[in-house]
């Protein structure tokens, strides 16, 4: 069985995409050639991955074979892209292999210029993909076939909702969905700290904060509520919730979250 997918950079996100395909039988370990940066990483990961995956460091001559696979998942750190791209072998004429990049800030034009004779796709998945609750935005490069689009969607659908987006919207998508878990984690931590300050044990406070956020998100989505509707459902006249909301408004929490998403979007655009 030949290599069907070359994985260049096997961090947590790449593992979150590949492992469900292996577990479902949609992909076999012998079809995967994964490249990591250091020899020490190969030793550590070999104990965590199926034994039939070929796992090599970037210094191994076999690493170049990953770029000969029909599908290549590019998942290195964005700042490593130029160095990695400089060592990519030129494909044979007529070899339209598919490159799926999950690199933030590396647009399709840069991908296609650095990786000629390849069909490129940009994917923006977020970290909830690690628990199959993710979101992924896809933007298609030139000459992507319907069959290749199907391959890409099958890679992301087991772990995320998949949306086709124009590339001009990917920075805002990333700022909301990829950076968003950090905003939510900050809120969860602050809410738990408040509960601890009010007298709850730390472990219980964290559990309650996490469950409250998860339950609220489920309620908003399943009942298709506007956030303002849910806020009004909870905030009774003169009650404790209104007292809390007044403090949040005085602190500028709403404005700070808006500006956080805008700042992340602008920073993403500046990386090009």
Both 132 and 154 in one domain: the answer is: yes
User: What is the full DSSP assignment across 223-234?
Assistant: TT--HHHHHHHH
Mean pLDDT across the chain, nearest whole number? 92
Cα 240 to its chain centre, rounded Å, is 37
Given a contact cutoff of 8 angstroms between Cβ atoms, the answer to whether 1 and 28 are in contact is yes
Q: Which of 231, 125, 52, 219 is nearest to 34 (CA)?
A: 52
Both 183 and 161 in one domain: the answer is: no
Tell whether 116 is covered by a domain: yes
**Residue 94: predicted pLDDT:** 60
Tally of CA atoms within 13 A in the half-sphere of 95 that contains its CB: 14
Given a contact cutoff of 8 angstroms between Cβ atoms, the answer to whether 139 and 116 are in contact is no
Tell whether 48 is covered by a domain: yes
Q: Express each pLDDT in 225-267 by its tens digit.
A: 999 999 999 999 999 999 999 999 999 999 999 999 999 999 9
**Residue 93: predicted pLDDT:** 63
Both 186 and 86 in one domain: the answer is: no
Q: Supply the range of the domain harboring residue 28.
A: 5-165
SS3 161: strand
Q: Express each pLDDT in 48-70 by its tens digit.
A: 888 888 899 888 888 899 998 99
**Residue 3: predicted pLDDT:** 67
Whether the model pTM is above 0.75: yes
**Secondary structure letter of residue 185 according to DSSP:** H
- Find the helix or strand (DSSP H, E) in which 122 lies: strand 119-125
Q: Express each pLDDT in 112-160 by its tens digit.
A: 999 988 999 999 999 999 999 999 999 999 889 999 999 999 999 999 9
CATH classification of the domain holding 188: 1.10.3730.10
CATH classification of the domain holding 141: 3.40.50.720
Reported as a pLDDT band with limits 50, 70 and 90, residue 222 is: very high
- What number is the average pLDDT over the span 163-170? 96
Tell whether 171 is covered by a domain: no
Both 156 and 41 in one domain: the answer is: yes
Number of domains in the chain: 2
Residue 2 reports pLDDT greater than 70: no
Given a contact cutoff of 8 angstroms between Cβ atoms, the answer to whether 184 and 176 are in contact is no
């Amino acid at each position: 069985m030949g290599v069907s997918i070359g994985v260049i950079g096997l961090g947590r996100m790449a593992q979150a995409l590949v492992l469900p395909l292996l577990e479902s039988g949609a992909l076999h370990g012998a079809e995967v050639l994964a490249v990591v940066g250091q020899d020490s990483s190969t030793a550590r990961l070999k104990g965590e991955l199926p034994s039939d995956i070929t796992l090599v460091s970037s210094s191994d001559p076999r690493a170049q074979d990953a770029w000969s696979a029909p599908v290549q998942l590019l998942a290195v750190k964005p700042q490593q892209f130029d160095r990695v791209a400089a060592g990519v072998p030129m494909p044979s004429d007529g070899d339209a292999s598919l490159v799926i990049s999950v690199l933030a800030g590396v647009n399709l034009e840069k991908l296609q210029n650095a990786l000629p004779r390849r069909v490129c796709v940009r994917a923006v998945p977020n970290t909830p993909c690690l628990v199959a609750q993710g979101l992924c935005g896809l933007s298609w490069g030139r000459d992507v076939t319907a069959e290749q689009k199907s391959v890409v969607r099958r890679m992301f659908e087991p772990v995320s909702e998949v949306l086709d987006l124009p590339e001009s919207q990917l920075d805002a998508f990333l700022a909301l969905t990829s950076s968003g878990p950090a905003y939510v984690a900050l809120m969860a931590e602050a809410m738990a700290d408040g509960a601890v300050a009010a007298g709850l044990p730390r472990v219980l406070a964290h559990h309650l904060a996490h469950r409250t956020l998860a339950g609220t998100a489920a309620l908003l989505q399943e009942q298709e509520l506007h956030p303002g509707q849910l806020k009004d459902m909870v905030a009774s006249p003169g009650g404790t919730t209104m007292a809390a909301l007044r403090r949040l408004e005085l602190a500028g929490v709403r404005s700070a979250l808006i500006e956080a998403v805008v700042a992340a979007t602008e920073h993403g655009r500046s990386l090009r």
